[in-house]
A and B are shown apart, each in its own frame.
Chain A
Amino acid sequence: MQQRTDTPGADRAMVQAERVTKTFGRGADGVTALDDVSVTIRENEFFTLLGPSGCGKTTLLRLIAGFELPSAGRILLDGAEIGHLPPYRRPVNTVFQNYALFPHMTVAQNIAFGLEMQGKPTAEIGGTVARMLDLVKMERLADRRTDQLSGGQQQRVALARALAPHPKVLLLDEPLSALDLKLRKEMQIELKRLQNETGITFVFVTHDQEEALTMSDRIAVMATGEILQVGTPKDIYNHPARRFVADFIGDINILDVDLDKIDEGRGVVRLPGGATASAALPEAEMRPGAVSVAIRPENVLLTGPEDGARTATGEIERVVYFGSAHNVHIRLDDGPPIVARAPHAPGGAGDRAGVILPDEHLQVLVD
């Protein structure tokens, strides 16, 4: 296996979707699964498509694999348009959600299948299959039939089978969703290792935000046939651009505030409690008026009720302990509830408390 190299070419585009639309059916009962989607996936990247059920993740993957043809738009692989090619002419392989292992073949025969179809010489196939078995730690089960394997083992075979022809891009459609939690965590690490060792671009589909955050180099958050935001896990987590993204990923407080003006690329907003703050703006154009700002519970600072001008005060409604910290639910005097996460609770239900919302963690959202 070639080692992953972080050469200057690492930012090269591997998969590009340009204004891709996919409609199923025609006329009144047509379903638009993807609506004018553009995205660029870079070489060697672990790229995740994240979104709720029915948002079009599988459809985008199937368009890249060639199982569906785009209704409009172009799909490029490594700079060449592939939108019209059948799946067997695209150097792209898929790990299917249900694995889709060939039931009448052994583990080794499954892994060899793609290489055989490519017409590789027998000796080379044998060598590659052995390396793949080693890579996914399945050497001992090479001659097993696939219906005699556990879920995790089937998963590994499916991975090995898709990696064996060394595709330019590996597509994975919720490959871990059928596994139990422990196995799932193991396979997450395993997948990252495989991606590092093979240097292949991974496009990974999940609706599990935690999985997406821990594994990905970059994430595209999707909803109802659109890509809402693309960014690193940190970007997406700390600076969600859209209300949907903020809501979908992690716990977050969303407050309705007034945007007074825009000053040096940041928004000056009036917070509950009367203080003004400077919040990060999304890329979209904003105008002064009513907006939403978001802040993560762990970024909300708890203080005493009379701790200065920047403090908003309120009453503690309840405290929820969950092992590593407390979630303190506070109803601010001006109305909105807010959650702060802290190692220690400042008091119990009914006590007064104050919160400070630091500028650097405030993010203005687009609806």
Chain B
Amino acid sequence: MAEAQSTLVDARRAAEVRERRARWLLLAPALLTIGIFGLFPLTITLIYSFLSPGTYGGVTWEFSTDAYVQFLFERDIFDGTLEFSSTYLQIYGRSIGLAFVATVGALIIGFPTAYFIASKPPEQRNVWLFLITLPFWTNLLIRTYAVLLIIRDEGIINLGLINAGLIDRPISILYTDTAVFIGLIYSYLPFMVLPLYASLEKLDFRLVEAAYDLYATRFQVLRRIIVPAAKPGIVAGSILVFIPGLGAYITPTLLGGGKELMIGNLIALQFGSSRNWPFGSAAALILMAVVMVALLIYVRNASREGGNHG
């Protein structure tokens, strides 16, 4: 009896071990990929950010915190004293602002779109979703050039408005923040629409009816029932637009003309013509820290609100 019981325990333990091993085996490819292509480069970046720049790019193996100091202070060329400088903070501020506005813009455009698709009969939804993802079939660079052609001074928007007699001179959109904003929204809109759709599709329409029945007007139904139901989608979509928007490189370079730097341009510059790899590394890490802090605050706020009423 006791023996039988102990073999039973052994068998169960063996099964547990086998299951644990299987789980790790399933995880291994993902862990390996993250390790090699994620953590390893990140570690290099971290190490480089604490070294000194080499004359022709690269680094020299000499410990230094200059890269981080440089972010906030300017060293006087003559006496070497440090003086506070907001140049880089401004670049970060501008980038965060643009990415934020683009996220809000994408949300405002994406929400009705997602709702529209989710309210279609199931067999039609896939067609609409396909149309939403259609831009992904073309390379981002080409798509951005297409935007450039449309909004430039001789582009169809301006030509159309001039021909219609609405304006005399072209409105210059290209190489302004507006152009970058348009480009960002256009590039990342699908990342907003898809998660929004995923959560709206699950919305029980009978809840909407119940709210109408309880004297809620259309706007109140939207605010009290539909938006709370879409909250996971709003959170996910905002993250998916904000983060790549913050680090965007191609869009601000082409549409912003590189006149005013965004974070992506700044980092690229350090590894290119500025030949300051440690500062480039530090800038990238600071960006990452900013994103992580912003995410933490955002997600915590969103989930707290979700618990209270929304």
Q: Does B170 contact A (CB under 8 A)?
A: no
> Bound complex: CA of A102 vs CA of B220, how far in Å?
14
Minimum Cβ distance to chain A for residue B212 (Å) = 4
Binds B, one of A4-12, A109-117, A264-272: A109-117
Q: Does A88 contact B (CB under 8 A)?
A: yes
Q: Does B213 contact A (CB under 8 A)?
A: yes
Total A-B Cβ pairs within 8 A = 61
Minimum Cβ distance to chain B for residue A94 (Å) = 5
Minimum Cβ distance to chain A for residue B30 (Å) = 32
- B contact residues around A65 at 8 Å (CB): 213
What DSSP secondary structure best describes chain B's contact surface?
Answer: helix
Minimum Cβ distance to chain A for residue B114 (Å) = 18
Task: Assess A93 versus B207: contact at CB under 8 Å? Given A104-B310, A105-B309.
Answer: no
Q: Does A161 contact B (CB under 8 A)?
A: yes
- A contact residues around B215 at 8 Å (CB): 88, 114, 117-118, 165
> Bound complex: CA of A118 vs CA of B214, how far in Å?
8
Contact partner of B210 (CB less than 8 A), chosen from A86, A96, A165, is A96
A residues 40-96 near B (Cβ < 8 Å) are 65-67, 86-88, 92-94, 96
- Contacting pair B206 A96 (CB below 8 A): yes
> Bound complex: CA of A67 vs CA of B213, how far in Å?
8
Contact partner of A88 (CB less than 8 A), chosen from B204, B206, B217, B225, is B217
B residues 213-236 near A (Cβ < 8 Å) are 213-217, 220, 224-225, 228-229
- Contacting pair A100 B210 (CB below 8 A): yes
> Bound complex: CA of A98 vs CA of B224, how far in Å?
20
Minimum Cβ distance to chain B for residue A291 (Å) = 45
Contact partner of A117 (CB less than 8 A), chosen from B206, B214, B306, B309, is B214
- Contacting pair B214 A165 (CB below 8 A): yes
- Contacting pair A93 B214 (CB below 8 A): yes
- A contact residues around B217 at 8 Å (CB): 88, 117
Contact partner of A98 (CB less than 8 A), chosen from B206, B216, B220, is B206
Task: Assess A102 versus B213: contact at CB under 8 Å? Given A96-B206, A109-B309.
Answer: no
- Contacting pair A94 B309 (CB below 8 A): no
Contact partner of A114 (CB less than 8 A), chosen from B214, B229, B306, is B214
> Bound complex: CA of A273 vs CA of B55, how far in Å?
122
Q: Please tell me the number of chain A residues within 8 Å of chain B, measured between CB atoms.
A: 25
- B contact residues around A88 at 8 Å (CB): 212-217
- A contact residues around B214 at 8 Å (CB): 88, 93, 113-114, 117, 161-162, 165
> Bound complex: CA of A326 vs CA of B168, how far in Å?
98
> Bound complex: CA of A88 vs CA of B212, how far in Å?
5
Contact partner of A100 (CB less than 8 A), chosen from B209, B220, B306, is B209
Known contacts A96-B206, A104-B309; 20 further A-B pairs (Cβ under 8 A): A65-B213, A67-B213, A86-B212, A87-B213, A88-B215, A88-B216, A88-B217, A92-B213, A100-B206, A100-B207, A102-B207, A102-B211, A104-B229, A104-B306, A113-B216, A114-B214, A114-B215, A117-B211, A117-B215, A165-B214
A-B contact pairs, 13 of them (CB 8 A): A67-B209, A67-B213, A86-B212, A87-B213, A92-B213, A96-B209, A100-B204, A102-B207, A102-B210, A109-B309, A113-B216, A114-B214, A117-B220
Enumerate chain B interface residues (CB-CB to A < 8 A).
204, 206-207, 209-217, 220, 224-225, 228-229, 306, 309-310
